[in-house]
């Protein structure tokens, strides 16, 4: 089974721009979660989508949004980028129901200049 | 509110000795616990998990212990190898609380040859 894939792997943007990151979960997984990791920080939870609906949401400003498509692929969007948004953005998938393990993609490294 | 805590940011161990990484949690509804290993600029890799109905789970050199009364879990690596040097995150989820995964801030393990 293919793992979680994220595109692009690296991205450089300037302040004020917007960015869209993509995540394809493991086949059969219906839940996709997004996390932000900054240097020295743990994984900060952004949001989780399950069957095209946002099921959980972390404590991030409205500039961060996401969506999930019917094939479970998910996109995350950040508008009006700030320097502090530079981070590794991780996507994780899991079946979505019951007790199970969450698997991570390789991440997208976003640099905001 | 940090529901999962890893109070040791770093740990150094000699090769061949035991590494013990600790994690504490506050939410008594958590019923599934996981450990992930992470190298820089990569996504976390799933290591081992334990359900709240167990107090120990073993997989090769890795053993996770769960003490529900103390709300504490630990990861033992025996024997430690230089390739184990990475950041280790513990995570927890609660099936009855929407299955959101909560992560600790990580412990950086260095295994000295």
- Name the residue among A96, A46, A94 with its Cα closest to residue A66: A46
CA-nearest residue to B89 within chain A is A42
CB contact (8 A) between residue B34 and residue A101: yes
Predicted local distance difference test score (pLDDT) of residue A98: 72
Q: Tell me what pLDDT residue A1 has.
A: 65
Reported confidence tier of residue B98, pLDDT bands at 50, 70, 90: low
- Name the stretches of chain A with pLDDT < 50: none
Please give the pLDDT value at position B83.
Answer: 95
Q: Residue A71 contacts by C-beta under 8 Å, 6 or more apart in sequence?
A: none
pLDDT at A96: 77
Tell me whether B25 touches chain A (CB under 8 Å): no
Inspect the interface and report whether the beta carbons of A90 and B43 lie closer than 8 Å: yes
Site of tokens 């980028």: A81
* Separation CA B66–CA A82 (nearest Å): 41
Q: Is 70 exceeded by the pLDDT of residue B108?
A: yes
**C-alpha triplet A25, A28, A32: angle, nearest 5°:** 35
What's the pLDDT tens digit per position in B18-59?
Answer: 999 999 999 999 999 999 999 987 899 999 999 999 999 999
Nearest CA in chain A to B106: A42
Q: Using one digit for the tens of pLDDT, what is the confidence trace for A82-106?
A: 999 999 999 999 887 777 788 999 9
Give all strands of the β-sheet with A64-68 in edge-to-edge order.
Answer: A5-7, A19-24, A74-78, A64-68
Instruction: Decide if B95 and A45 are in contact by the 8 Å CB cutoff.
Output: no
Give percent of chain B with pLDDT exceeding 70. Answer: 96
Average pLDDT rounded to a whole number, residues B60-65: 98
pLDDT at B80: 98
The residue among B100, B102, B107 with the most chain A CBs within 10 A of its CB, best to mutate, is B100
Query: What is the average per-residue pLDDT within B89-97?
Result: 85
- Closest Cα in chain A to B31: A99
**The predicted structure's pLDDT at residue B65:** 98
Nearest CA in chain A to B46: A103
Q: Which of A45, A97, A107 sits opposite B43 (nearest CB)?
A: A107
When scoring B39, B43, B53, B66 by the number of chain A Cβ atoms within 10 A, the one with the most, hence best to mutate, is B43
Predicted local confidence at residue B97, as pLDDT: 64
* Cβ distance of B42 and A102 shorter than 8 Å: no
């Amino acid at each position: 089974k293919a793992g979680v894939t994220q595109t692009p792997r690296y991205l450089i943007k300037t302040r004020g721009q917007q960015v869209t990151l993509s995540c394809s979960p493991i086949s059969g997984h219906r839940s996709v979660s997004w996390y932000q990791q900054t240097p020295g920080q743990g994984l900060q939870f952004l949001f989780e989508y399950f069957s095209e609906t946002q099921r959980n949401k972390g404590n991030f400003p409205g500039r961060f949004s996401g969506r999930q498509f019917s094939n479970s692929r998910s996109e995350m969007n950040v508008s009006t980028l700030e320097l502090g948004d530079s981070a590794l953005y991780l996507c994780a998938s899991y079946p979505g129901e019951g007790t199970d393990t969450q698997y991570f993609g390789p991440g997208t490294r976003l640099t905001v200049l | 509110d940090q529901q999962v805590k890893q109070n040791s940011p770093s740990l150094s161990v000699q090769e061949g000795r035991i590494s013990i990484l600790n994690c504490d949690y506050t939410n008594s509804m958590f019923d599934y616990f996981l450990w992930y290993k992470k190298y820089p600029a990569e996504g976390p890799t799933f290591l081992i998990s334990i359900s709240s109905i167990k107090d120990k789970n073993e997989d090769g050199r890795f053993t996770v212990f769960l003490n529900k009364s103390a709300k504490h879990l630990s990861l033992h690596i025996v024997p430690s190898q230089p390739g184990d040097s990475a950041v280790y995150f513990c995570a927890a989820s609660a099936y009855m609380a929407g299955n959101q995964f909560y992560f600790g801030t990580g412990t950086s393990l260095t295994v000295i040859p």
